[in-house]
Amino acid sequence: MSLGQRLAQLAVSLQEPQRVASFQRLCGVEAPLGSPAADKDAETEVRGAAGDPRRRGPQSGAERNPSPAKPDCCGAPNGVRNGLAADPGPAGPRRAGSLRRNSLTGEEGEPVIVNNWPLYYLFCFGTELGNELFYIFFFPFWIWNLDPFVGRRLVIIWVLVMYLGQCTKDIIRWPRPASPPVVKLEVFYNSEYSMPSTHAMSGTAIPISLVLLTYGRWQYPLVYGLVLIPCWTSLVCISRVYMGMHSILDVIAGFLYTILILLILYPLVDLIDSFNQTYKHAPLIIIGFHLVLGILSFTLDTWSTSRGDTAEILGSGAGIACGSHAAQQLGLLFDPPLHTLPLAIPPLTVTLLGKAILRVVIGMVCVLIVRDIMKKIAIPLSCKLFSIPCDDIRQARQHMEVELPYRYLTYGMVGFSTTLLIPYIFSFIGIS
């Protein structure tokens, strides 16, 4: 057998949903009796005992996921829609009920039994490191409290890595691991395709970039960074398998894809950031470039949550870049002179901690207000401009003419406020 054949066989093996299900059982996740996943596990065990050859070798594509690909922009997700399990009866404290609900598709999680709660909460935390709630806190925190220089560059890398990952999903179009046998602990991203895992890409890009951008700029032992990278990356990657959202192959591909992107992209980050800060017409180019990327991504496939997420990512990146440009021109943004590097980490005092907490509280309140106002303006305005019925917001948002401007404008203003409006407020009240 040639090396190529062996690699192909390994890839097929790593894509098997049964491997995901086995890992979930190892971590204490079970489907309640009577649910489709539990019935599938029992059927598989019976076949294995009878010497069924499918028990011992990789399954065919149809056996891996018998569900069809998503049929249209308003239909079911991509063939791995969760079926609600039958009533499992009392499961005591081990039962975790229907988990996160997808407000855009109406899909709900299936009841599951969790036997290892520490692992459950650990992997829930790991998967949140790739969700909107984390991003909307993490990047502003760096810009407001730690180092705007690092924060801006982190956003540049994150935007490009996530954009390439989301577009690659819609080009390859591989479905999520089949359920059953996999138990879906999360359904919010179930309408998206699976390959590669963008959670794994984000969980790889952020810690590696963080260490590359801060080491030598700040004084700290390199060993801290070398410990942070594998811990962060492995936690995010493993959590996606635990949640039943990705195969092992998906997360490995996401990790390797990110390394390749960073090798090409990272040497250009300084040039991109300098252009954003100093070029006179940079805001026009930034807005236009990110908008074109958004339009291209919306033409790759039918509707899924990945399209809105892509527009949200691009809007955030454009808003932060434009806000940074304006802040630089107005003198609100200062990077320390090169001769002062590396920067010493200041001692933690009550005053320093109090100002940091105050900036976070005031800043996040402003971010949430801006986001809420823009949501209430952008969706009805888009529906009116393009003559799309706005009675059902969920259906309206599945049109590109609504989803793209809504996400792009809303999160563009959030990003702009993060780097211009809110730092101005900090300066005005004396906590800059």
Residue 381, number of CB atoms within 10 A of its CB: 15
**pLDDT value for 29:** 81
Candidate list 246, 290, 325, 399, residue with the active-site label: 246
* Residue (of 303, 306, 318, 319) closest to 397 by Cα position: 303
pLDDT of residue 180: 79
29 three-state secondary structure: strand
Residues of the chain whose pLDDT is less than 50?
42, 44-98
- The confidence score (pLDDT) of residue 334 equals 67
Q: Say if residues 202 and 126 touch (Cβ distance below 8 Å).
A: no
- pLDDT for res 72: 41
**Are the C-beta atoms of 77 and 107 separated by less than 8 Å?**
yes
Q: Do residues 426 and 359 make contact, with C-beta atoms less than 8 angstroms apart? A: yes
Instruction: Give the pLDDT confidence score for residue 313 in this predicted structure.
Output: 92
pTM of the model: 0.80
List Cα–Cα distances, 231 to 211, 226, 236, 238, 239, in angstroms: 13, 9, 9, 11, 12
Q: Could you tell me which residues come within 8 angstroms of residue 280 by beta carbon, excluding any fewer than 6 positions away?
A: none
Q: Which of 431, 432, 410 lies closest to 327, judged by CA?
A: 432
Residue 197 to residue 24: CA distance in whole angstroms: 18
Phi-psi region of 406 (alpha: psi -120 to 50; beta: other; left: phi over 0): alpha
Helix (H) and strand (E) counts in the chain: 17, 3
Task: Classify residue 248 by its DSSP letter.
Answer: H
Q: What is the pLDDT of residue 210?
A: 94
Q: Is 325 a catalytic residue?
A: no
pLDDT digit string (tens) for 197-247? 999 999 999 999 999 999 988 888 999 999 999 999 999 999 999 988 888
Q: What is the model's pLDDT at position 262?
A: 94
The pLDDT assigned to 101 comes to 55
The CA distance from 244 to 177, in Å, is 7
The residue from 199, 290, 325, 399 that is catalytic is 199
281 is catalytic: no
Instruction: State how far the Cα of 245 lies from the Cα of 100, in Å rounded to an integer.
Output: 13
Q: In what order do the strands lie in the sheet with 29-30?
A: 29-30, 112-114, 95-96
Distance CA 266, CA 206 (A): 12
Contact 129, 232 (CB under 8 A): yes
